[in-house]
Amino acid sequence: MKAQSIKTKLVLLILFFLCVPLLVFGTLWYDKASESIEHNAINYSEQLIGQINSQLDGYFTDLERITYPLLLHPQIQSFMKLTTDDQDQYDRFLISKKISDELFPSITFGRPDIYGLSIVSKNGIATASYSASAGKESYELYKDTLLGERNYRIVGNRYLESIPMLTIARRFLDTVSYQSSGMLIVYVRLNEIIKICEKIKLGETGFVWIMDEAGRIIYHPQRDKWGKSALTPELSQKLQSQNGYYVEKVKLDNRLIIYERSTMTGWTLISEVSLKELNGEMISLRNITVWVGLMLVSLALFLVGGFSFNLTRSLTHLQRLMRRAEEGDLSVKAPEWRNDELGGLNRGFNRMVGEIGRLLEEVQTSRMKEQEMEIRQRESALRVMQSQINPHFLYNTLEIINSYAIIEDIQPISRMTTSLADIFRYSVGNPGQAVTLLDEIRYIRTYLGIQQERFNILQVDISTDDEMIPKVNAVRLMIQPLVENAFKHGYQAHKQKPSYIGISGVQQDGGYILRIEDRGQGMDNRLMERYNMAFATNDYKELAQSGNVSGGFDTIGLWNVHQRIRINYGQPYGLYISKSDQTGTIIEMRLKTVI
């Protein structure tokens, strides 16, 4: 912003403090309003679906209620006991006629939605208000659907005489044995269900449709879909819960799908409505708001632009004069007739130009000092580059040695030079760079690989949790001093060849314990206790005194590692000697894990 002109700054201020807030506020307002409208529409649609479900449940509950008296009626019980013997033929005729003339009309009277009733016994005897053969056929189809405790169920939809019907089955129980003795089959027209569903209007194109438990369509505004299966694997995945909603993209429109499953009928009611119909008015209002805002912003920019042009014209003239003065023309002079802030600025410019001649010598002196500082900086940079030459020279030399070893097929030399290059590269890295225990383990493996080439009898056992060590904080070169300490004081000081180095780790008490073990000669218990006390109290005097005891380890190296861990991660992290005797030494390193 400092490098921009005043005119540009004014325009940017208008853009960022008027245009951007207006656009952001408009966008947030539109999103929140659309979200609120969609939320209200969803709640409203869910309430409508709930009302439809309640009306349908009430409708089928009423059908269950009005057919209940037939279950225990004496004539029905007598009918269920009839057999197909010829001697019962007359009794069948009388009972069937009495049921058709007296019982069926009491149920169907005033109920145009009930197309017909049929009673079928388990002995295969049927009586119906419309067709006994159709009743027997329905019995064979639906007798297995009423198993267990299901005595009343909507079993399907079918066409009778080209009329779409719902089939409702109800089981008769023998009053003595309480076993199934037959079935009442009720055929219901879809008129009432259609009336209930068509009462609801969701927008201009929204509609409601019904699917039964088997996935067949009971009702849909498109009649050619009645009775067909609609349950695809994708739809089944979306309708897993008892109720809910989701948005489905259809061509160029997004449709809101709301569903609810009835616990009584097992039917799923699904409503579909276009989201554009829900927030179409809000889109128009948003567009009007955007255009009005753009017009206001354009007007503001026009007014501010005119004012800023008049203001910046004088500033531009002064800027040209200042450029000439920068080029060495000190005879320039700005007009001083204005009495506003720009006039004061011009007068100040004229005074400044008058003083420049006097300050030229001081400027020259300052430039000479700057050039001297620049030369010194370049010399410092050159020395830094020279200090970087040696490591690179060393890496290149080791690479050449490795190449010769590969050509001559001397694998030990190749391995050692490669490992040595890796060790140097890791050692000269940035000391302040954060590393993990995984980096340190990789480095110490390389280091011990070289030691194994030196000492053929050296056994190395590194067992750490590969999934855990990347999460453990470490400091650079913290394990090598302890391993070198084992070589120097555990083996070489006692004229023993290094035979074993073990490194293992375990997660413990929210931290990580790394153990470095050797099988050389250790220290006595008194010295080990003084070391551990110094580590615990963080008192170097105690540790320095212990170094004078016969058999002491590298005090400075141990203390350096302990202090670096303690400085980086605080207490209780650091070193602890858990074992040191004639059979070897184990040093534990407590480290911090990443949270």
Under 8 Å CB-to-CB from 190, ≥6 apart: which residues? 157, 164, 165, 166, 218, 219
Strands (E) across 400-527 are located at 435-436, 459-463, 473-474, 500-508, 511-518
Res 128 pLDDT > 80: no
Higher pLDDT, 446 or 280: 446
Q: Is the pLDDT of residue 502 over 90?
A: yes
Query: What is the number of other CB atoms lying within 10 angstroms of the CB of residue 99?
Result: 21
* Three-state SS annotation for 198-222: HCCCECCCEEEEEECCCCEEEECCC
pLDDT in tens, 531-576: 888 888 877 666 655 544 444 455 677 888 888 888 888 888 999 9
Tell whether the model's pLDDT for residue 588 goes beyond 90. yes
Mutual orientation of helices 437-454 and 411-427 as an angle, nearest 10°?
Answer: 140
What pLDDT band is residue 577 in, cutting at 50, 70 and 90? Answer: very high
- Rounded to the nearest 10 degrees, how much is the dihedral formed by the CA atoms of 158, 160, 165, 170? -80
For residues 378 and 570, the model is more confident at 570
pTM: predicted TM-score of the whole model, two decimal places:
0.46
Of the candidates 127, 129, 164, 158, the one whose C-alpha atom is nearest the C-alpha of residue 141 is 158
Contact indicator for 582, 588 with CB cutoff of 8 Å: no
What pLDDT, on a 0 to 100 scale, did the predictor assign at position 514? 93
CA distance 482 to 486: 6
Q: Which of 165-179, 237-251, 322-336, 360-374 has the lowest mean pLDDT?
A: 360-374
Residue 178 sits at the vertex; the CA angle it makes with 174 and 183, to the nearest 5 degrees, is 50
Neighbours of 495 (CB within 10 A): 7
Between 70-74, 489-493, 574-578, 585-589, the lowest mean confidence (pLDDT) is in 70-74
Averaged pLDDT, 317-345: 78
Q: What is the pLDDT of residue 347?
A: 80
**The pLDDT of residue 575:** 92
Q: Give Cβ neighbours of residue 160 (< 8 Å, ≥ 6 apart).
A: 115, 116, 130, 134, 187
Mean pLDDT is highest, among 54-68, 196-210, 323-337, for 54-68
- Interval 447-488: pLDDT, tens: 888 888 888 778 888 888 888 888 898 988 889 889 988 888
pLDDT at position 385 over 60: no
Calculate mean pLDDT across residues 589-595.
Answer: 84
pLDDT for residue 580 is more than 70: yes
> Is the pLDDT confidence value at 152 over 80?
no
Give the fold, CATH level 3, of 429-592. Answer: Heat Shock Protein 90 (3.30.565)
